[in-house]
Structure 1
Amino acid sequence: MTNIVGKLEEEKVFKDPVHRYIHVRDQLIWELVGTREFQRLRRIRQLGTTYVTFHGAEHTRFNHSLGVYEIMRRIIDNFNGREHWDESERLVCLSAALLHDIGHGPFSHSFEKVFHTDHEEWTRRIILGNTEINKVLRKVSEEFPKKVSNVIAKTYSNKLVVSLISSQIDADRMDYLQRDAYYTGVSYGHFDMERILRVMRPTEEQAVFKQSGMHAVEDYIMSRYQMYWQVYFHPVTRSAEVILSKILHRAKYLYQQNHQFKQAPTHFYSLFNEKLSLEDYLKLDEAIIMYYFQIWQDEEDRILSDLCVRFNDRKLFKYVEFDPSKQWNEWPKLIDLFKQAAIDPEYYLVIDSSSDLPYDFYRPGEEGERIPIFLLTPNSDLRELSRESDVVEAISGKKRTDHKLYFPLDVLDDETEHGELKRQIKAILFK
């Protein structure tokens, strides 16, 4: 019988463009990679609709999950033998790192908003449910799946372990910043990870960083800041997300109205009925979604058909800046003009907001409070990062929010119908 907690007879190696090599030495990790639930991640892009803006962004959750595992493996190797590190937590850490994104659905966050799903909740259901992953994890012990699930839920008793997978500087973020920068072709997400790993030290509560490595940590924080505003919140990507969300909303609405689809959207039935089983969820991937988007281009419903053509052919909505504090009084008038011009504002006039808090210090009792990053001084004191770094202090606790108003400019430019109304709309939008 194979010893699931033992080492492989021969190390397995994945070639990787970010980390060069990903090393698998444990039988447990190798078997987890081979499960159907983990292989499903090959069919889910890491960055959703970002590929319509940055054409190289075709990488998957599979790539990223292996990368997070590899960073965690390196962290553990560096921690081995140090005070506060318990080597018996090794397999829990590696498993949680590998499986942290296993519950993501197709076009992750857009999908979640429409159907009110939570990828972290689905991750725990996959780990604890009747799945190949659960069967592999239970080979370690009956309680092992629950341990891995608790790490991802941030309820695990060992806070150090939780911090390695979920904190303001963790294995997850360190991989996706570099990986997303590589595949989008931008320079913002690069930082000196090797230096950060060398100066990382375990404590009872969390990982901290030697003060001598502060500049590498600063670089990481600024890389994250730049990636969010230059890549993750790119307005063109958000336009594609808006259309994607509206397609799913429209399809759900039509189903609820007993619309007769030319081809029954059977894969969506449990979603539309809000009775999504684990097996149904695991059958959903981006190939399925794109198949229906192709089919729905020929639907009789004009809105669903138009939105699918726009998404598939990259005929995206245009956008203008929108300041709710100054322009909110114009919103009812815009909606009314759209309706008069026979353009449904529910689907063709959309405010999209993005916000980010690049780094935060400790705010006890506040909702969503973040554990700060600590620097370890030569005399073993801990100092919060923003108190030592002028660069980080300048952006600490400062939440930046961006609002855009999306609409189909091509429809407004076509003045063969409702020309005067469309001119009034454009006068408001572009004043």
Structure 2
Amino acid sequence: MTFKKWAVEFTDTKAFQKLRDIKQLGNSYYIFPGACHNRFEHSLGIERVNNDLECVTLAALCHDLGHGPFSHVFDGDVIPGFGLIIKWKHEDGSEKMFDYLYDNMETHSIDLSTDDLKVIKNLIKGDRTKSSPYLFDIVSNKRNSVDVDKFDYLARDCYYLGMKSLFDSPRLMRFSYVTEDQIVYHHKECFNIYKCFTHDILCTRKYILIASVCCNS
């Protein structure tokens, strides 16, 4: 894999490197020994899908910076376990971590304006704007959840959980089209999109439910 110089400057920061220590599937690797993949490689995988537009690329690269230990387990179990009554979303954490990362970088090979930085953070959180709204279907699609985040983690999680994914993301992207305000897909891809969501549900149920049963037994 090759990356542009400015992308490497982001990935070489301490704030980004900590993703190496955050397992993609939380504590599931205690049950599935092979599921040791982390948020670092997942973020690199998403960046590779989007290296045409700099803002979208950076949003894809940094979208998971806000994850705490054990990924989503931190949001749903760790924080409530400490009795903390806060509405924590890792997207909010990613926005703050991106600000910290960018402000503390020693060099910037990419010149980002204030508007660029705002767009990147909106892309991370999925907050659509009137300007080029179709861009918000790429990284964090709040409209229908079909985005490159799902494309990468489905392929990666299924592989490490020993599941075969029938969802064909490269084909879906080949049959995608940009309209004035959104990304749409050819009607013949309806079954491919169906596989995307069914595999997402099956994959989640496998690692969450089985891990929960085994950890509580």
- Structure number with the bigger relative contact order (C-alpha 8 A, sep ≥ 6) is 2
What SS class does the counterpart of residue 55 from structure 1 fall into?
Answer: coil
Give identity over the alignment, percent: 30
SS of equivalent residue, structure 2 residue 194: helix
> How far apart are residue 139 of structure 1 and its match?
4.4
2:119 equivalent in structure 1: 147
Assess if the C-alpha contact under 8 Å between 2:20 and 2:40 holds in 1.
yes
* Closer, same or farther: CA 52–34 of 1 in aligned 2, 3 Å: same
Match of 1:71 in 2: 49
Match of 1:234 among 209, 212, 215: 209
Superposed displacement of residue 221, structure 1: 2.5
**Amino acid of the residue matched to residue 5 of structure 2?**
Q
Matched pairs, number: 202
Q: TM-score, normalised by structure 1?
A: 0.44
Q: 1:132 to 1:122 in 2, by over 3 A?
A: same
The one-letter code of the counterpart of 2:19 is: L
Instruction: Give the partner amino acid of 2:99.
Output: L
Q: Which residue of 2 aligns with 1:317?
A: 216
Letter in 1 for 2:194: E
Residues 269-319 of structure 1, C-alpha deviation per residue, up to 9 Å, x if partnerless?
A: xxxxxxxxxxxxxxxxxxxxxxxxxxxxxxxxxxxxxxxxxxxxxxx322x
CA contact (8 A) 2:134 2:178 kept: yes
Is 1:108 equivalent to 2:79 in the alignment?
A: no
Name the CA shift for 1:152/1:122 in 2 (closer, same or farther; >3 Å): same
Contact kept? 2:126, 2:139, Cα under 8 Å: no
Unaligned stretches of 5+ residues in structure 2: 80-85
1:55 alignment counterpart: 33
- Whole-angstrom CA distance in 1 between matches of 2:168 and 2:94: 30
Structure 1 counterpart of 2:163, which letter?
V
Structure with the greater alpha carbon radius of gyration: 1
Match of 2:10 in 1: 32
TM-score if structure 2 supplies the norm length? 0.83
Q: Residue 162 of structure 2 aligns with which residue?
A: 185
Q: Are 1:218 and 2:194 an aligned pair?
A: yes
Distance across 2 between alignment mates of 1:197 and 1:184: 25
- Alpha carbons 1:44, 1:106 under 8 Å: kept: yes
CA RMSD of aligned residues (A): 2.2
Instruction: Determine if the alignment matches structure 1 residue 119 to structure 2 residue 90.
Output: yes
Alignment-derived partner of residue 60 in structure 2: 97
Match of 1:162 in 2: 136
Structure-1 residue corresponding to 2:83: none
Give the Cα–Cα distance (whole angstroms) in 1 for the partners of residues 200 and 112 of structure 2: 38
Q: Give the residue type in structure 2 aligned to 1:194.
A: P
Paired residues for 1:308-347 under 5 Å: 316-318=215-217
Report the alpha carbon displacement of residue 107 of structure 1 after superposing the two structures with TM: 1.1
Shift, 1:133, TM fit: 6.5
1:36 deviates by 1.5
**Pairing 1:274-285 to 2, within 5 Å after superposition:** none
Unaligned runs of 5+ in 1: 1-12, 14-22, 77-89, 241-315, 319-431
Partner Cα separation in structure 1 for residue 90 and residue 191 of structure 2: 34
Which structure dedicates a bigger proportion of its chain to helix?
2
Corresponding residue for 1:171?
148
**8 Å contact from structure 1 (residues 147, 156) kept in 2:** no
CA contact (8 A) 2:137 2:147 kept: yes
Residues 33 and 39, structure 1, Cα contact 8 Å, conserved in 2:
yes
Contact 2:125 2:140 in 1 (8 A): no
Q: Secondary structure at the match of 1:201?
A: strand
Higher strand fraction (1 or 2): 1
